[in-house]
Amino acid sequence: MTAIQYDVIVIGGGIAGVTCVESLLLLNPNISVALISCTPCVKCTTNIVALGHLMEKFDVIEQDESEFIQRFPTVKFIHGEAVRFYSEKHEVEYRRVPSSPDESVDVSTMVYKKLCVCTGGEPNVVAPNLDSVISIRDTDSVQILQEKLRKAKHVAVLGNGGIANEFICEVEDCDVTWIIKDNFINSAFLDPGASEFLINQIKTVKPKGEQKYLKRWQYESNSKSSVDATKLEEKTGPALGPDWHKNLDLKGLGSKENVNIQYSTTIQSIEETSDSSSNKKELKIVLTNGHEFGCDFLVSATGVNPATGFFEGQKVKLGEDSGIEVNESFETSIADVYAAGDCCTPGWEIAPHWVHMRLWTQAKQMGTCVARSITACLQNEPKLPLDICFEVFTHVTTFFGYKVIMLGNFNAKGLDKNKCEILFRCTKNMEYIKVILHEDKLCGAILIGETDYEETFENLILNQFDLGFIKDGLLDPDVDIEDYFDYLFSC
């Protein structure tokens, strides 16, 4: 049987892959597209609202196969595993997931003009073979977390990124030992001052039944599927979207919650034991600082590694972090093969005010841009320049109930410290503002709380306006900076 040919085959049903499919159809409704997803549900963005030139907020919904097909009737949706590809023949081999345990499924083949790989990232899990160690990566793993938490009185969390911080903030009725390798929380995003501002929220007792404060966009699940809460499938699904915890009951078996933070340490040994009387598994953990304790289970939230297994056996160029290296057009080193999202690594010269981080915001941006590049190539048009969204880093999130916005080179990485000046403004339990100036030009900022500075600061980073004459009043609460610069730029 002759293999069916598609203009574009997309591998991966996460935000990058689905955004790529959506953008391809917007640019050319007549294009033939196939999407291969290892799970029956995919991640889609909706309700997109611009907060500035580059900043935007949106909802992330989860759609099952029937909903996706209804939305994109011309797209061939395949719930299965992409096994391998042959670049010389432009062929992709895949195996569809059987509809029943008794069904045998053979490997099938499709032909592509362009191949876009959006396989995302794989959780970096400590002791992955232990049943009492879980990672929070996709919808299935979150449901497993809920099931385990209902029976737990003491949980350990390893990691210092966004997922760990959100879990610590939301868990109730369970003691938590939080293990971090740094000397302050959330070091991937924040500085010690911002971390100190937020850590007080951990110590704040939340009244029972209190409505959770969420200023950020929401993650919702439209999926009707259920999951076996005793184990994860070998193939994990698309990464969680923002506010993955919004509609979840993250309550333990205890009567209160107490967070014990173990700083500047990691796990030295971990052992799983079973209680013969209750047949319940527990963990014994020893940290490198000498602290020992027991807990019901461990949440491993130490980030992800690029999922590049689909390229096994291929001569493809990798980045320094082992991601698939791509150029400004998101082309890999293999002809007609593109990559986007968590699986790839930018191979272009990074702009001074942009930071590469494996976030769902950048997955969406990459999915859009790779679709533009593919469309231009299929239509024999010149290569497009790199999109402006890769000029200035923007990320909006929520930590401990506060809106948090990071702009530009928010951590001053690589800057000459002798030419930098840092401005602060902090109001306890209300706001934290940090602005980084380099040679009197705004290059980065961290905004916590309802500061209303985000759009103005984004513009100032974009246009690199000299602030030497006004920097002393830049964070003065009595000065309306937004109106001032709106007037100045209109003149």
Q: For position 320, what pLDDT does the model report?
A: 93
The CATH homologous superfamily to which domain 125-302 belongs is FAD/NAD(P)-binding domain (3.50.50.60)
Classified by CATH at the fold level, domain 4-122+306-390 comes out as FAD/NAD(P)-binding domain (3.50.50)
Domains 4-122+306-390 and 125-302 share a fold: yes
Q: For position 128, what pLDDT does the model report?
A: 83
Nearest to 261 by CA among 315, 332, 195: 195
Instruction: List the structure tokens of 442.
Output: 């705004």
Q: For position 212, what pLDDT does the model report?
A: 39
Domain ranges of the chain: 4-122+306-390, 125-302, 409-490
Strand order in the sheet with 219-221: 41-50, 56-64, 219-221
How many CB atoms sit inside 10 A of residue 32's CB?
Answer: 17
Residues (pLDDT < 70) of the chain are 1, 137-140, 201-257, 276-278, 484, 486-491
Return d(Cα 113, Cα 94) in angstroms, integer. Answer: 17
Instruction: List the structure tokens of 185.
Output: 């929380």
**How many alpha carbons lie under 13 Å from residue 62 in its C-beta half-sphere?**
22
Angle at 168 between CA 162 and CA 173, to 5 degrees: 155
Return d(Cα 111, Cα 85) in angstroms, integer. Answer: 9
Q: For position 268, what pLDDT does the model report?
A: 96
Q: What's the chain's length in residues?
A: 491
Q: For position 141, what pLDDT does the model report?
A: 73
Q: For position 250, what pLDDT does the model report?
A: 65
Return d(Cα 172, Cα 159) in angstroms, integer. Answer: 19
Distance of CA 171 to the CA centre of its chain: 20
Distance of CA 68 to the CA centre of its chain: 22
As a dihedral over the C-alpha atoms of residue 26, residue 28, residue 34, residue 35, rounded to 10 degrees, the angle is: -20
User: Residue 318: what residue type?
Assistant: L
Return d(Cα 404, Cα 447) in angstroms, integer. Answer: 6
Q: For position 202, what pLDDT does the model report?
A: 67
Rg, the chain, Cα only? 24
Please name the residues in contact with 350: beta carbons below 8 A apart, sequence gap of 6 or more: 356
Cβ-in-10-Å burial (0-12, 13-18, 19+) of 475 comes to middle
Question: Mapped to the 3 state alphabet, what secondary structure does the chain carry?
Answer: CCCEEEEEEEECCCHHHHHHHHHHHHHCCCCCEEEEECCCEEEEEEEEEECCCCCEEEEEEEEEHHHHHHHCCCCEEEEEEEEEEECCCCEEEEEECCCCCCCCCCEEEEEEEEEEECCCEEECCCCCCCCCEEECCCHHHHHHHHHHHCCCCEEEEECCCHHHHHHHHHCECCEEEEECCCCCCCCCCCCHHHHHHHHCCCCCCCCCCCCCCCCCCCEEECCCCCCCCCCCCCCCCCCCCCCCCCCCCCECCCCCCCEEEECCCCEEEEEEEEECCCCEEEEEEEECCCCEEEECEEEECCCEEECCHHHCCCCCCECCCCCEEECCCCECCCCCEEECHHHEEECCCCCCECCCCCCHHHHHHHHHHHHHHHHHHHCCCCCCCCCHHHCECEEEEEECCEEEEEEECCCCCCCCHHHEEEEEEEECCCEEEEEEEECCEEEEEEEECCCCCHHHHHHHHHHCCECCCCHHHCCCCCCCHHHHHHHHHHC
Cβ atoms of 171 and 205 within 8 Å: the answer is: no
Cβ atoms of 265 and 183 within 8 Å: the answer is: no
Angle at 386 between CA 385 and CA 390, to 5 degrees: 160
